């Protein structure tokens, strides 16, 4: 396939450009449908006139339909989009990128979705969809799934369906406590939403993300917390995001002196309250109640999901220092930051 694509690029480059544009339109409609022409044009960086002409062509081919609420894909449109994914991936070199990242960081699987989640909320939804599918494909009976907070894991919860874990008797647990921010983005809320969407059970961790050592010792004696921690410490599957070091430090109200120290040590990424430099060394750790980095080794699967060009260096720093990661789900923009030009 690659040799054919290379020939087409030389002989009929316009054909591939048109194919890419129409794929982007169908792909974006599928993620956001129903959607009007104006917001779709703005998202894709097209003029409304150009988008109208392309949409009319795709409608003539019975690939999309116009509704009062906006454009939607037809069954034929969905089928064509799915058939195009492999071709578009080959055109963009995504399969090659996936293999390079797998080898570099010793991962079992890498999934790269189209776009940049910094620029498009629909790309973040796609990350969530692939994350949900990845979890589903790995489920076993009576699995315990520990999940961290964040906007991307929230999208994974939104993508789950009632048949997600049929007959498997699984339990969702929060990997960490809360950060004191929007409750819908916290691990407790996301674990609860995943359970609600799938008909599974869940447990709640009644503890903040960071507390003083004295209070932590006291809280660890609480029977309800001990019960949940026992599950959190031995999950079958861990699903987590990766944060930018200084953005996460500010969200945790980290003292200025600590932030300056982290800057001097070139902190880049954060996960589970651990901050990593570009060589994967832990340069700062927040004492918290919940899943610790060393606990990942006990899990059967560890799925990291994060995207956006701004997170490329954070993802790289985490993967270099991770105790265990089996699957990375990211987007094109972040993936490009994980591969050196000399690879």
Model confidence band, residue 330 (pLDDT cutoffs 50, 70, 90): very high
Q: What percent of the chain has pLDDT over 70?
A: 88
Asked if 104 and 15 sit in the same domain, the reply is no
Is position 165 within any domain?
Answer: yes
Closest of 78, 96, 114 to residue 1, by C-alpha = 96
Domain count, the chain: 2
Domain range for residue 280?
93-338
**CATH assignment at residue 236:** 3.40.50.1360
Last residue of a domain, one of 70, 91, 112: 91
Q: Pick the range with the lowest mean pLDDT from 4-18, 86-100, 197-211.
A: 4-18
**For residue 28, what pLDDT is reported?**
87
- Tell me the average pLDDT of the chain: 87
Report whether pLDDT(30) > 90: no
Is position 299 within any domain?
Answer: yes
Asked if 62 and 109 sit in the same domain, the reply is no
Is position 47 within any domain?
Answer: yes
Last residue of a domain, one of 44, 68, 91: 91
* Spatial separation of the C-alpha atoms in residues 191 and 123, rounded to whole Å: 22
Asked if 123 and 73 sit in the same domain, the reply is no
Asked if 83 and 123 sit in the same domain, the reply is no
The answer, as to whether pTM is greater than 0.75, is: yes
Asked if 128 and 206 sit in the same domain, the reply is yes
Is position 343 within any domain?
Answer: no
Model confidence band, residue 320 (pLDDT cutoffs 50, 70, 90): very high
Asked if 281 and 145 sit in the same domain, the reply is yes
**For residue 342, what pLDDT is reported?**
43
Last residue of a domain, one of 91, 123, 142: 91
Closest of 56, 30, 72 to residue 64, by C-alpha = 72
Asked if 131 and 229 sit in the same domain, the reply is yes
User: What mean pLDDT is predicted for residues 227-255?
Assistant: 90
| Whole-number CA gyration radius for the chain | 22
In DSSP notation, 245-256 reads HHHHHHHTT--H
Report whether pLDDT(120) > 70: yes
**CATH assignment at residue 33:** 1.10.10.10
């Amino acid at each position: 396939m690659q040799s054919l694509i290379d020939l087409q690029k030389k002989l009929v480059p316009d054909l591939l450009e048109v194919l890419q544009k129409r794929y982007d339109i169908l792909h974006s409609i599928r993620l956001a449908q129903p959607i009007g022409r104006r917001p779709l044009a703005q998202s894709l960086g097209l003029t409304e006139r150009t988008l109208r002409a392309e949409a009319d062509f795709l409608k003539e081919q019975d690939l999309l339909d116009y509704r009062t609420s906006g454009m939607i894909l037809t069954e034929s449109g969905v089928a064509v989009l799915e058939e195009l994914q492999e071709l578009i991936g080959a055109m963009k070199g995504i399969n090659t990128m996936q293999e390079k990242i797998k080898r570099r960081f010793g991962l079992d699987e890498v999934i790269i979705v189209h776009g940049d989640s910094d620029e498009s909320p629909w790309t973040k939804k796609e990350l969530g969809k692939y994350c949900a599918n990845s979890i589903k494909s790995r489920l076993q009976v009576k699995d315990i799934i520990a999940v961290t907070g964040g906007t991307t894991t929230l999208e994974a919860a939104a993508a789950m369906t009632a048949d997600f874990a049929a007959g498997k008797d699984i339990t969702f647990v929060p990997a960490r406590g809360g950060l004191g921010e929007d409750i819908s983005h916290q691990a407790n809320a996301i674990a609860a939403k995943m359970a609600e969407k799938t008909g599974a059970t869940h447990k709640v961790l009644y503890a903040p993300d960071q507390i003083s050592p004295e209070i932590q010792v006291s809280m660890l004696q609480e029977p309800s917390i001990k019960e949940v921690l026992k599950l959190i410490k031995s999950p079958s599957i861990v699903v987590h995001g990766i944060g930018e070091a200084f953005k996460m430090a500010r969200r945790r109200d980290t003292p200025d002196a600590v932030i300056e120290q982290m800057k001097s040590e070139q902190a880049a990424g954060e996960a589970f309250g651990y901050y990593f430099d570009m060589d994967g060394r832990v340069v700062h750790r927040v004492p918290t109640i919940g899943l610790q980095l060393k606990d990942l080794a006990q899990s059967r699967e560890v799925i990291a999901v994060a995207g956006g060009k701004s997170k490329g260096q954070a993802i790289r720093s985490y993967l270099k220092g991770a105790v265990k990661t089996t699957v990375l789900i990211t987007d094109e923009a972040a993936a490009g930051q994980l591969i050196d030009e000399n690879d």
